[in-house]
Chains A and B, each alone.
Chain A
Amino acid sequence: MRKFKEYIIEKLILASGLASIFFVIVIFLFLLKEGLAVFKIVTPANFLFGKNWYPISEPPQLGIFPLILGSLLVTLGAAIISVPIGIACAVYIAEVAPVRTKEILKASIELLAAIPSVVLGFIGMVTLVPWVKSIFKLPTGLTALSGSIMLAFMAMPTIVSIAEDALYSVPRSHKEGALALGATHWQTIYRVLLPAASSGILAAVMLGIGRVIGETMAVMMITGNAALMPHSFLQPVRTLTATIAAEMGEAVVGSEHYFALFAIGIVLFVISFAINITADLFLHRKR
Chain B
Amino acid sequence: MKIETKNLNLWYGTFQALKEVNVAFQEKRITAIIGPSGCGKSTLLRVFNRMNDLIEGVRTSGEVFIDGVNIIDHAADLVSLRKQVGMVFQRPNPFPLSVYENIVFGQRIHGAMSKGALDEVVQQSLESVLLWDELKDRLNESAMGLSLEQKQRLCIARLIAVQPDIVLMDEPCSTLDPQATQRIEELMRELKKNYTIIIVTHNMQQAARVSDDAGFMLLGELVEFAKTEDVFTKPKDKRTEDYITGKYG
- Quick check: A181 and B162 within 8 Å, CB to CB? yes
Cα of A184 to Cα of B105 in the assembled complex, Å: 12
Shortest C-beta distance, A256 to chain B (Å), equals 54
- Quick check: A180 and B82 within 8 Å, CB to CB? yes
Q: Mark A141-178, 1 if CB is under 8 A from B, else 0.
A: 00000000000000000000000000000010110111
Cα of A195 to Cα of B101 in the assembled complex, Å: 12
Shortest C-beta distance, A28 to chain B (Å), equals 38
Question: Which of these, B80, B89, B91, contacts A182 with CB under 8 Å?
Answer: B80
In the complex, A283 has a CB within 8 A of chain B: no
Q: Do A181 and B89 form a contact, CB below 8 Å, given A174-B96, A176-B54, A191-B105?
A: no
Cβ contacts under 8 Å, B87 to chain A: 180
In the complex, B193 has a CB within 8 A of chain A: no
Cα of A177 to Cα of B87 in the assembled complex, Å: 8
**Consensus secondary structure, chain B interface:** helix
In the complex, B51 has a CB within 8 A of chain A: yes
Cα of A178 to Cα of B108 in the assembled complex, Å: 12
In the complex, A183 has a CB within 8 A of chain B: yes
Cβ contacts under 8 Å, B91 to chain A: 173
Cα of A222 to Cα of B85 in the assembled complex, Å: 59
Cα of A178 to Cα of B95 in the assembled complex, Å: 8
Shortest C-beta distance, A167 to chain B (Å), equals 13
Cα of A187 to Cα of B108 in the assembled complex, Å: 10
Q: What interface size band does chain B fall in?
A: 20 to 34
- Quick check: A180 and B86 within 8 Å, CB to CB? yes
Shortest C-beta distance, A272 to chain B (Å), equals 30
Shortest C-beta distance, B54 to chain A (Å), equals 7
Cβ contacts under 8 Å, B97 to chain A: 195
Cβ contacts under 8 Å, A178 to chain B: 95, 105
**Consensus secondary structure, chain A interface:** helix
- Quick check: B51 and A181 within 8 Å, CB to CB? no
In the complex, B155 has a CB within 8 A of chain A: yes
Q: What is the total number of residues of chain A having a CB less than 8 Å from a CB of chain B?
A: 18
Q: Mark B15-33, 1 if CB is under 8 A from A, else 0.
A: 0000000000000000000
Cα of A195 to Cα of B93 in the assembled complex, Å: 15
Cα of A41 to Cα of B155 in the assembled complex, Å: 66
In the complex, A287 has a CB within 8 A of chain B: yes
Cα of A56 to Cα of B67 in the assembled complex, Å: 86
Shortest C-beta distance, A137 to chain B (Å), equals 47
- Quick check: B89 and A183 within 8 Å, CB to CB? no
Question: Which of these, B78, B93, B142, contacts A177 with CB under 8 Å?
Answer: B93
- Quick check: A177 and B54 within 8 Å, CB to CB? no
- A197 (CB) vs chain B CBs: closest residue: B96
In the complex, B1 has a CB within 8 A of chain A: no
Between-chain CB contacts (< 8 Å), 23 pairs: A173-B89, A173-B93, A176-B51, A177-B93, A179-B82, A180-B49, A180-B86, A180-B89, A181-B162, A182-B82, A182-B83, A182-B106, A182-B109, A182-B162, A183-B79, A184-B79, A184-B109, A187-B109, A191-B95, A191-B105, A195-B95, A195-B96, A195-B97
> Given A180-B82, A183-B109, list of 9 further CB < 8 A pairs?
A174-B93, A177-B155, A178-B105, A180-B86, A181-B82, A181-B106, A182-B78, A182-B106, A191-B108
B→A interface (CB under 8 Å)? 49, 51, 54, 78-83, 86-87, 89, 91, 93-97, 105-106, 108-110, 142, 144, 155, 158-159, 162
A→B interface (CB under 8 Å)? 171, 173-174, 176-184, 187, 191-192, 195-196, 287
